[in-house]
Amino acid sequence: MRIINKKDNKALIYYNNSFYVVSQANNMATGYVDETLIFKSDPDGTVVDYIEVGGAKYVPLDEVLNNINEYLYDRRHNG
């Protein structure tokens, strides 16, 4: 997995011949992590389908990035 760009609560990554945007959403009231989701994207970081292909509730962005293969829903994406 290669991180192309990471800023704030969002990252563009290249993994297993595909590009993904990984995005962390925080609870507005508490500031705690609500969820981090993974979406297919193009090489520029534009999401091509807003149906998530991975992610988890209450898991921060860095945890998902460090263990991307564990957080993809479709295990065929694993490298």
Q: Which residues make beta-bridge pairs with 46?
A: none
| Residue 75 banded pLDDT, cuts 50, 70, 90 | low
How many Å apart are CA 7 and CA 75, to the nearest integer? 27
As a whole number, mean pLDDT of residues 21-42 equals 95
Residue 75, both tokens:
């295990």
Q: What is the pTM of this model?
A: 0.89
pLDDT, position 74: 77
